[in-house]
Amino acid sequence: MNDNMMIEINGQKIPVAKVKHWRFAPHEFMPFRSALETAQWSAFLALRKAWDTLDASILTPYLSDNFSYGSYWVNEQNLNLTGYLDYLPKKFDTIRRTASKPELSLSVLYEGLAPQDFCYALEMTQGDVRTLLTVSFDGGQIQSLYMTDPQIFTYERTFAKGGILDENGEPRVFKHRCETDEIGKPMTTRQQVAFAVECVVALFKEAGSNVSGIFKSCYKEFPNIITKTGDDTFYHRIDVSTPANDCAISAVEIAEFSAAAEMHDAWAMVMPVSLFCTETNGGMPLCGGSFFMKVLEARPLGETNL
């Protein structure tokens, strides 16, 4: 989010820097941890699939009875459920007829000029035009959708967190590549970090993220992956040695890493990664092995209350 830009509120143009910024905590949401979070995540993925296939019927079962839809650019009253179910199929028909389907990217929200309980959104890109479709829930059903200006959020194109699945919904297998004489040997910490970085970079690129830097270093004061979304830059530190929702980076390393990111006007993020070696049933990771991978949501370093 560019603090130097102007935003219009109640007819007055105000610098973004002077508007209250809301900080979000996306790392607190864990798909599949609870029945509610599973229902919300399933509804969000149904939203993406509906837009990807231009099939409104996919989304219909996930909308609540008190659903509403609005847009930042439309001054008319929000659509209720009946109005939206009439509007969306026509919208999709127009997109098909004009061959104007937008590029879709799952995005995670870190900061914005409005409160947001659900910290994921659907970014839509068509040429130079970008929009964000934000979501709110009533229990496990979608209560509202709002099409808004992405410039009022700090967000990042990302991928589905938790256990990484393939297109069939099965655990995705990541194969470690190494020299022939190393196959079957225990992986060093450096090798685990390098492998995790390779896998996460591949996931970011599949999600359409702009990866501008890749570093396989184990030095925790430096980033492993640098990504860019809009005007925002993110320094990601991959941590493969930590339990869920935690990181083993010391206070000194946090300070050094955060300072390096700040020098480049970037967000300093830590992303815990768990590697499950299939050859050892989750035991010692082996060179040349096949792995399932769990990636938790990136969280800003040095921030405890977002």
Q: Do domains 6-157 and 162-300 have the same CATH topology?
A: no
Task: Kindly report which listed range (15-24, 82-91, 220-229) carries the lowest average pLDDT score.
Answer: 15-24
Contact (Cβ atoms closer than 8 angstroms) between residue 45 and residue 160: yes
CA angle 234, 238, 244 (to 5 degrees): 110
Q: What is the mean pLDDT of residues 199-225?
A: 86
| Residue 115 vs residue 6, higher pLDDT | 115
Closest residue by Cα to residue 91 from 45, 50, 46: 50
Segments making up each domain of the chain, as ranges = 6-157, 162-300
Write down the pLDDT at residue 243: 47
| Residue 165 vs residue 240, higher pLDDT | 240
Supply 293's token pair: 């991978």
Q: Is the pLDDT of residue 163 over 80?
A: no
pTM higher than the cut 0.95: no
Nearest-angstrom CA–CA distance, 296 and 155: 16
CB-side exposure of 57: number of CA atoms within 13 Å? 0
Q: Is the pLDDT of residue 302 over 60?
A: no
Q: What is the mean pLDDT of residues 17-41?
A: 73
Residues in a beta bridge with 70: 146
Q: What is the mean pLDDT of residues 142-163?
A: 85
Q: What is the mean pLDDT of residues 30-49?
A: 85
Question: Dihedral angle at the C-alpha atoms of 237, 110, 137, 207, nearest 10 degrees?
Answer: -50
Q: pLDDT band for position 16 (50/70/90)? A: low
Closest residue by Cα to residue 294 from 199, 204, 191: 199
Nearest-angstrom CA–CA distance, 46 and 137: 14
Contact (Cβ atoms closer than 8 angstroms) between residue 101 and residue 95: yes
Question: Dihedral angle at the C-alpha atoms of 160, 299, 186, 169, nearest 10 degrees?
Answer: -10
Q: Is the pLDDT of residue 150 over 80?
A: yes
Write down the pLDDT at residue 246: 52
The letter for the amino acid at 15 is P
Q: Does the domain at residues 162-300 carry the CATH identifier 3.40.1350.10?
A: yes
Domain 6-157 belongs to what architecture?
Roll (3.10)
| Residue 249 vs residue 2, higher pLDDT | 249
Backbone phi, then psi, for 237, in 5-degree steps? -105, 115
Q: Is the pLDDT of residue 28 over 50?
A: yes
Using alpha carbons, list the distances in angstroms from residue 185 to 44, 212, 216, 230, 306.
41, 32, 20, 42, 42
pLDDT mean across residues, the chain: 83
Q: What is the mean pLDDT of residues 295-305?
A: 60
Supply 159's token pair: 């991928």
CB-side exposure of 247: number of CA atoms within 13 Å? 26
